[in-house]
């Protein structure tokens, strides 16, 4: 492993050479052990814009060893010092927002306006929330003569996806570092540029060596090595349900904690009194946000049968206002999907929807007119979809919306719960009491009533095959903590003489 003694700037290295041939281990940019490289494809032109190094299992070993060494001091560092460093990370993300937005737009096709307004700012929010929750979290509580301590779980392997590349990184790294854990990050090799920029931010913020490490690579090599590593205490993965199963299987022999945020097929249930003029356009926008590449996208719109034609008309108008185009253009609202495999998946599922007999009201197979290259998909809406159709059951991960009619609210709830997933859900209705009652019946980790504002403190995670564990907010912080009970803690004659008392007093200060 060779250290690069140069002043390593991700942006400058990319501009000058088009190559990013380092991994970040123990506070240094180093050459990986292997020689494999991967091209980063701009999905708008289907051409390589950069080449990155792919790490190996040996690089994972080095990164985990660095994280293990750093854990000894980072885990007992003061709350104030960790909060200060997270504050620096937060500030640097905002200062470098434009390079982050440009990288995200190029690596996975996000419209530049969306990258600037959403992808980067909400990613920064996860760091801010972790900092703020750290400052107020009760790491020690008392129950009579017993002390309950919450301690950092240890070295954490973090595996993140390509669809929200920076957002998913900060959602894991922020609370992990706040808790006192050290981390090894494996970002998606399909959208790694923003991850490398983030590593540069961590370095420049002054996070101590070994606390944060990054090893780029693919799942079968780096992801598997990280999941199975005996010195990794926890794995947190955001990805497909298939990938989550593989990670859990690899982690099982070492009995490490596994937190999984996986697939979804989220319902958007319209109650009979829903205001369609407001709810339908917002529902289409939510389903197609990030070109439909969100695990919690509400891609099943469940509506009263007697209002189906009205829903179709409004939905068609909403989809018609979307501008699919070059992601670098400020006028574009929706760029391409992120990669060829995803493009092929979307095209396949649109074909299946047509073959199943669903009514196509807009979009359809192929690229939009005037596009002869790039992974551009037509915003597609099917109506009169039956609940058991593939397009209503399987996660498509693209701009495809299924409108499903129902005849009673009980049937609507049954349809909403009638998949193997349970990540997110929406309920629309003017009678808030009824909407709350329906929300309580839906089996998912989050339910949104009438499109509330995004809340980074709201715990996020799934029921059923959408995963386990929670991210965001206090619950996200607690995923990275172990619970220790100290019984007989209170010495009534001299309560300050024990080692445990001294340590807890120090933590509380």
At 399-438, the pLDDT tens digits run 999 999 999 999 999 999 999 999 999 999 999 999 999 9
**Cα 396 from Cα 178, distance rounded (Å):** 35
Confirm if 304 and 269 have CB atoms less than 8 A apart: no
Confirm if 422 and 413 have CB atoms less than 8 A apart: no
**Cα 23 from Cα 192, distance rounded (Å):** 11
At what angle are helices 276-288 and 308-320 packed, to 10 degrees? 50
Per-residue confidence at 496, pLDDT binned at 50, 70, 90?
A: very low
**Cα 295 from Cα 467, distance rounded (Å):** 11
What pLDDT, on the 0 to 100 scale, is given for residue 17? 80
Q: Which one, of 263, 286, 312, lies nearest residue 399 by Cα?
A: 286
CATH for 267-449? Answer: 3.40.309.10
The CB-side HSE value for 452 (13 A sphere, CA atoms) comes to 12
Q: Is this structure's pTM higher than 0.85?
A: yes
Burial 245-267 (b: 16+ CB within 10 A, else e): ebbbebbeeeebbbbbbbbbbbb
Give the start-to-end residue ranges of the domains of the chain: 10-261, 267-449
Q: Which one, of 77, 73, 26, lies nearest residue 184 by Cα?
A: 26
Record the tokens describing residue 434, joined without a space. 């009824």
What pLDDT, on the 0 to 100 scale, is given for residue 7? 52
Could you tell me which residues come within 8 angstroms of residue 80 by beta carbon, excluding any fewer than 6 positions away? none
What pLDDT, on the 0 to 100 scale, is given for residue 501? 42
What average pLDDT does this structure show over 479-499?
A: 73
Percent residues over pLDDT 70 in the chain: 94
Determine whether domain 10-261 maps to CATH 3.60.21.10: no
What pLDDT, on the 0 to 100 scale, is given for residue 19? 84
- Report the chain's mean pLDDT, rounded to a whole number: 94
Q: Which one, of 27, 335, 367, lies nearest residue 191 by Cα?
A: 335
Confirm if 225 and 186 have CB atoms less than 8 A apart: no
What pLDDT, on the 0 to 100 scale, is given for residue 486? 96
**Cα 289 from Cα 298, distance rounded (Å):** 10
What average pLDDT does this structure show over 281-293?
A: 98
What pLDDT, on the 0 to 100 scale, is given for residue 16? 78
**Cα 56 from Cα 222, distance rounded (Å):** 6
Confirm if 289 and 297 have CB atoms less than 8 A apart: yes
**Cα 408 from Cα 312, distance rounded (Å):** 19
**Neighbour count for residue 410 (Cβ, 10 Å):** 11
Instruction: Dump pLDDT digits (tens) for 86-117.
Output: 999 999 999 999 999 999 999 999 999 999 99
Confirm if 404 and 301 have CB atoms less than 8 A apart: yes
Instruction: Dump pLDDT digits (tens) for 167-212.
Output: 999 999 999 999 999 999 999 999 999 999 999 999 999 999 999 9
**Cα 328 from Cα 94, distance rounded (Å):** 20
**Cα 168 from Cα 164, distance rounded (Å):** 6
What average pLDDT does this structure show over 336-365?
A: 98
What average pLDDT does this structure show over 120-124?
A: 98
Phi/psi for 360 (5° steps) reads -85, 115
Q: Which one, of 79, 61, 24, lies nearest residue 209 by Cα?
A: 24
**Neighbour count for residue 482 (Cβ, 10 Å):** 15
Predicted confidence (pLDDT) at residue 2 exceeds the cutoff of 60: no
Among 34-38, 153-157, 189-193, 491-495, which stretch is predicted with the lowest mean pLDDT? 491-495
**Cα 359 from Cα 304, distance rounded (Å):** 17
**Cα 283 from Cα 361, distance rounded (Å):** 16
Per-residue confidence at 18, pLDDT binned at 50, 70, 90?
A: confident
Confirm if 363 and 379 have CB atoms less than 8 A apart: yes
**Cα 271 from Cα 12, distance rounded (Å):** 53
**Cα 405 from Cα 384, distance rounded (Å):** 6
The residues with which 485 forms a beta bridge, in sequence order, are: 148
The residues with which 181 forms a beta bridge, in sequence order, are: none
What average pLDDT does this structure show over 40-47?
A: 98
User: What residues act catalytically?
Assistant: 261, 295
Predicted confidence (pLDDT) at residue 502 exceeds the cutoff of 70: no
Within 366-422, where are the H helices? 390-393, 409-416
């Amino acid at each position: 492993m060779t250290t690069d003694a140069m002043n390593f700037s991700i942006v400058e290295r990319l501009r000058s050479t088009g190559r990013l041939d380092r991994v970040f281990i123990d506070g240094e940019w180093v050459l990986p052990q292997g020689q494999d490289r991967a091209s980063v494809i701009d999905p708008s032109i289907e051409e390589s814009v950069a080449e990155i190094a792919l790490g190996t299992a040996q690089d994972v070993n080095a990164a985990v060893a660095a994280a293990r060494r750093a854990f000894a001091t980072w885990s007992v560092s003061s709350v104030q010092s960790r909060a200060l460093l997270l504050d620096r990370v937060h500030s640097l993300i905002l200062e470098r927002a434009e390079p982050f937005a440009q990288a995200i737009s190029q690596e996975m096709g996000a419209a530049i306006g969306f990258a600037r307004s959403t992808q980067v700012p909400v990613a920064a929010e996860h760091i801010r929330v972790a900092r703020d929750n750290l400052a107020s979290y009760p790491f020690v509580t008392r129950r009579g003569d017993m002390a309950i301590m919450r301690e950092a779980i240890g070295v954490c392997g973090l595996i993140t996806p390509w669809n929200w590349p920076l957002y998913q990184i900060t959602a894991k790294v922020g609370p992990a570092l706040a808790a006192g854990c050290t981390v090894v990050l494996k970002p998606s090799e399909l959208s790694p540029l923003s991850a490398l920029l983030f590593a540069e931010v961590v370095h420049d913020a002054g996070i101590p060596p070994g606390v944060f490490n990054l090893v780029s690579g693919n799942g079968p090599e780096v992801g598997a090595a990280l999941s199975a590593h005996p010195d990794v205490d926890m794995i947190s993965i955001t990805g497909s349900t298939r990938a989550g199963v593989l990670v859990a299987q690899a982690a099982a022999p070492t009995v490490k904690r596994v937190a999984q945020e996986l697939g979804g097929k989220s319902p958007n249930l319209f109650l009979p009194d829903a205001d369609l003029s407001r709810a339908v356009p917002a529902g289409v926008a939510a389903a197609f946000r990030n070109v439909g590449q969100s695990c919690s996208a509400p891609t099943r719109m469940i509506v009263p049968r007697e209002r189906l034609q009205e829903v179709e008309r409004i939905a068609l108008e909403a989809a018609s206002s979307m501008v699919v185009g070059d992601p670098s253009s400020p006028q574009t609202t929706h760029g391409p999907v992120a990669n060829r495999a995803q493009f092929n998946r979307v095209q396949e599922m649109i074909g299946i929807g047509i073959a199943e007999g669903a009514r196509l009201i807009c979009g359809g197979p192929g690229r939009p007119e005037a596009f002869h290259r790039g992974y551009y998909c037509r915003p597609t809406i099917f109506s009169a979809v039956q609940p058991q159709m593939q397009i209503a059951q399987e996660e498509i991960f693209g701009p495809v919306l299924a409108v499903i009619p129902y005849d009673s609210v009980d049937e609507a709830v049954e349809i909403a719960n009638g998949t193997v997933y349970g990540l997110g859900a929406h309920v629309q209705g003017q009678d808030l009491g009824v909407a709350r009652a329906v929300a309580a019946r839906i089996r998912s980790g989050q339910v949104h009533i009438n499109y509330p504002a995004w809340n980074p403190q709201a715990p996020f995670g799934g029921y059923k095959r959408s995963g386990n564990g929670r991210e965001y907010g206090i619950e996200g912080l607690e995923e990275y903590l172990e619970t220790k009970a100290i019984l007989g803690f209170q010495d009534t004659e001299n309560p300050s003489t024990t080692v445990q008392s001294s340590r807890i007093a120090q933590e509380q200060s």
